Amino acid sequence: MRHVGLKARMAVVGSILFGFYMLLAIVALEVYGLGLPIVVLGTIAFAGFQYKFGKWAALRSAGAEEMSEDRYPEIHRAVERVSGDMDLEKPKLMVADMGVPNAFAVGRRGAGVVVVSRELIQLLDPDELEAVLAHELAHIDNRDVVTMVMGQSIASMLGLAAYVVVASTREGGIGGFLVGYLASILVQSVAMVFVLAISRYREYVADSDAARHVGGDAMARALQKISGASQGRDVELDDNVSALCIFGGERSALEKLYATHPPIEKRIEAVRDVER
């Protein structure tokens, strides 16, 4: 079985998030007196909505637009080659102005989308760009994109639910608002610890997959260039989009628990040892 470690982590985190999700259903059932059929149908429908909305929100936040095959034929050919190697249906390609060289993928096998920033296209050599594209295709192939999008959505929903429950048990006014807000932040932060643990590990796996298809040296050079070009550039990306990107920026020691990506130096060291 490929990537047993990643699959095991996704299964564990998925189970934990599902437990949180069921807790919300119990609250709706017991506290607010909603009927069981309504709760079951509501949770299923909302899960589907979260997936669709999360994908749409990420693309909209990045300002992504369709990548013309006439204008970017080399990128389309590279994606076709790597997709064929991975036995993966070619995903839709989009391009965006992110302010920094970056790329990300959303969607599932058969309905994936890869977004590449124009800054990345200008920065990288063809083999380095192909390595980044292979990295994003690996995310779709490994199905970890769905886990990330759903996990982020569930964490946000848990935060909102915590606010509603806590604020409703207190008297109105600024006090109830503040206590509810703090409860919302705490609950969402706890849920995101589990989601971001997968986020860091999945980057190593995608780097390794890309290196096997394109070459470890090309992947390492791409990561080095992206990191160097992003230094000192304070460009704000939506947190949900940043977690999906190939490079999430540098974090201080205090922020490492919530880092979306492992240290770039460790990623470069890891891919240099991968043989095609």
Which residues lie closer than 8 Å to 244 by C-beta, 6 or more apart?
58, 104, 105, 106, 139, 145, 148, 149
**Alpha-carbon span 181 to 163, nearest angstrom:** 6
Per DSSP, what are the bridge partners of residue 95?
65, 116
CA distance 195 to 50: 15
DSSP state of 106: E
* Residue 197: alpha-carbon gap to chain centroid: 12
CA neighbor of 47 nearest in space, from 36, 39, 35:
39
- Per the residue annotation, which of 128, 130, 136, 203 is the catalytic one? 136
CA pair distance 118, 171, nearest whole angstrom: 51
Q: Which residues contact 163 (CB under 8 A, 6 or more apart)?
A: 180, 181, 183, 184
- 136: annotated active-site residue: yes
Catalytic residues: 136
